[in-house]
Amino acid sequence: NAGVTQTPKFRVLKTGQSMTLLCAQDMNHEYMYWYRQDPGMGLRLIHYSVGEGTTAKGEVPDGYNVSRLKKQNFLLGLESAAPSQTSVYFCASSKGLGRVDHNSPLHFGNGTRLTVT
Amino acid sequence: EDQVTQSPEALRLQEGESSSLNCSYTVSGLRGLFWYRQDPGKGPEFLFTLYSAGEEKEKERLKATLTKKESFLHITAPKPEDSATYLCAVQAAGNTGKLIFGQGTTLQVKP
């Protein structure tokens, strides 16, 4: 059982280049999330999806776009990379919301380390 | 605004020296408070969910407790393999399921 798989693991971009980060989960989870993690800032939510074909903005969405064409995949795109987007990006998934006292935790991938020069 | 603050930022312990990590939160309608463990170069790994004040959960040397304003992660007789960053997160009322994370506490346990 692979869980949440992120590709690539590492990437170096030049300012202005574009790329797509791929996230795949094999747990049939409804909800998926993209976070970025920076020193001293903790994990911050970029975009999320509560089901196939849906997306919504999180806390820091500017400069990113996402797509959820298939339930198992959640793509994060950078159209024109900037040095401020140097970070570690984590994808996560969950079953979604059940009873208020029985929530499904988020399951995380191992991250993509992106450097923009 | 929903907010999570963890303290201390870093903690060094000797093997066997018990201690506690703190997570203070403000949230509009708490659906759950989550603790995660993160090892270097890895994604966060789920430890516990707490739902209401007074609730406690245990796993090996770890025990998590919850009040209306904060949560504690107690580590009893830690071992070097407990060294990691511990993350606290809250899930607010609503239908997004998203988590708001604190900055984490990096724990180092020396033999």
Residue B94 pLDDT? 76
Which chain A residues are closer than 8 Å to B43 by Cβ? Answer: 4, 90, 92, 108-111
Asked if pLDDT for residue A77 goes beyond 60, the answer is: yes
Look at residue A85 and tell me whether its pLDDT is greater than 70. Answer: yes
**Given this model, what pLDDT does residue A101 score?**
52
User: Any chain A CB within 8 A of the CB of B2?
Assistant: no
The C-alpha of A11 sits at a distance from chain B's nearest C-alpha, in angstroms, of 15
Residue of B nearest to A101 (CA): B51
Q: Is B51 on the interface with A (CB under 8 A)?
A: yes
Cα separation, A109 vs B60, in Å, equals 24
Contacts of B41 (CB under 8 A, 6+ apart): A110, A111
pLDDT of B71 > 60? The answer is yes
Q: A110, B43: Cβ pair inside 8 Å?
A: yes
- B6 to chain A: closest CA residue: A42
| A98 contact B CB<8A | no
C-beta of residue B23 within 8 angstroms of C-beta of residue B5:
yes
From B109's Cα to the closest Cα of chain A, the distance in A is 21
Place B96 in a pLDDT band, splitting at 50, 70 and 90: confident
* Structure token digits, residue B7: 């303290």
Q: What local confidence, expressed as pLDDT, does residue B28 receive?
A: 85
* A48/B104 CB distance under 8 A: no
B3-28 pLDDT per residue, tens: 999 999 999 999 999 999 999 999 88
The pLDDT score that the predictor gives to residue A41 is: 84
Q: What is the pLDDT of residue A100?
A: 56
Q: Please, which pLDDT band fits residue A96 given cuts at 50, 70 and 90?
A: confident
User: What CA–CA distances, in Å, run from A86 to A38, A105, B13?
Assistant: 9, 27, 32
Q: Which residue has the tokens 């408070």?
A: B33
For chain B, report the end-to-end CA distance as a whole number of angstroms.
Answer: 41
The model's pLDDT over A27-38, given as tens digits with 9 standing for 90+, comes to 999 999 999 999
Q: Does B88 touch chain A (CB under 8 A)?
A: no
Mean pLDDT of chain B: 94
Shortest CA gap A91–chain B (Å): 9
A111 and B44 within 8 Å at the Cβ level: the answer is: no
Q: What is the pLDDT of residue A58?
A: 93
